[in-house]
Amino acid sequence: MPISLGKIILASGKALAVFIALNIIYYLIFKTKRKHFLFIRLKDKTRLWFYLLIIFLSSFYFVNSLPDFNAQFKILNFFYYSILILFSIVIIEGLSIFSFDYLIIFKKQADFPLIFKDLIKSLVYLTLILFFLGGILKINITPLITTSAIFSIILGLALQETLGNLFSGLTLHLSKPYKIGDWIKVENYEGIVERIDWRSTSIKTFSWDYITIPNSKLSKIEIHNYSTPSILHATYIEVGTHYRHSPDKIKKILTSCAKTTKGIAQDPSPIVYLTQYGDFAINYQLRFWIKDYSEILDIKAEIMEKIWYYFKREEIEISASRKPGRAKKQVN
């Protein structure tokens, strides 16, 4: 039976009213400027799903307001299940943000690895899908599970490296050799840890390059962590002076250079070692501790400038252990 134009217009008007009302609610929730951490995170993660929910709810109301027609039941079922899925996504994402991002990380200031969060969410979504198929659509999921088990074995063999990264990532999170914000050195790369996920770890180097290293590789190699167990990091500068200058005087000058440089810890106090009597110089090592590893290059540069000016003022000659000589000519 054909539907009259008037009934379509009436149903459209009702659906439009519902759409406008839901959009007002959407505006009040997502467009209002609020600076609370929880509210900002909820907006970022759920606003898209919430707006799709508005569209499907309005469409469902529109079809439901029409007189009976042949395909109405199938269309209503489609919108009903779509609304149910979208609503479930909004609830899961909201609970995830409230539980992990807000209660654990924000309120308790605890470190909760991203990989565990993603793993828990994946299990929840998988459970939801199985419940949706078996409990709502009444589909026999036993053959699906059996087939999935066989498929999982085949897929597991094909994705050995990916699974290796996943389990290596879990191991790294449990052993915690580093965390986000730590300065680490891995092989020839040195930088701050920016991201840790199920597959890899990303660090940002001093030159602002991003290096992504697979977790399976990180679990097998040596990792230097400059941020734990203490943020203090010992470093040193070596300098050589002429034999006519007394070690006591040189030590006092080098110590003074370190103590007056911003970013160097006063406890432990900077210390100077006489390390070598060279052919043409006495070599010293100035050892000091810095509070922020990201400033190491600036601090070293500032100290070296100070040493030059201090030595210039005190008429102290900087010397090398050995004088440069001509390279010997090789004879074949």
Beta-carbon contacts of 201 under 8 Å, excluding residues fewer than 6 positions away, are: 172, 178, 193, 195, 212, 213, 215, 218
Q: How many Å apart are CA 278 and CA 294, to the nearest integer?
A: 33
Handedness of CA 128, 132, 136, 141 (dihedral sign): negative
Beta-carbon contacts of 72 under 8 Å, excluding residues fewer than 6 positions away, are: 63, 66
Q: Answer whether 8's CB lies under 8 Å from 2's CB.
A: no
At 165, which amino acid appears?
N
Q: Give the C-alpha distances (Å, rounded to integers) separating 245 from 201, 226, 252, 307.
A: 50, 36, 12, 15
How far the first Cα of the chain sits from its last, in Å, is: 104
At 174, which amino acid appears?
L
pTM of the model: 0.51
Q: How many Å apart are CA 100 and CA 61, to the nearest integer?
A: 35
Backbone φ and ψ of 275, nearest 5°: -105, -25
Q: Answer whether 285's CB lies under 8 Å from 272's CB.
A: yes
Backbone φ and ψ of 95, nearest 5°: -65, -35
CATH class of 233-313: alpha beta
pLDDT by residue for the chain (332 residues), tens only, comes to: 556 677 778 888 888 888 898 888 888 877 777 677 677 777 778 888 888 888 888 888 888 888 776 677 778 888 888 888 888 888 888 888 888 777 776 666 655 566 667 777 777 877 777 777 766 666 666 665 555 554 555 445 444 555 566 666 666 666 678 888 899 998 888 999 988 877 788 999 988 888 888 877 887 788 889 888 888 889 999 999 999 999 999 999 999 999 999 999 998 999 999 999 988 899 999 999 998 888 999 999 999 999 999 999 999 999 876 655 544 444 33
Architecture of domain 173-225: Roll (2.30)
Q: What digits encode the pLDDT tens for the residues 223-250? A: 889 888 888 889 999 999 999 999 999 9
The ranges assigned to domains in the chain are 5-156, 173-225, 233-313
Q: How many Å apart are CA 168 and CA 309, to the nearest integer?
A: 51
Q: Answer whether 22's CB lies under 8 Å from 58's CB.
A: yes
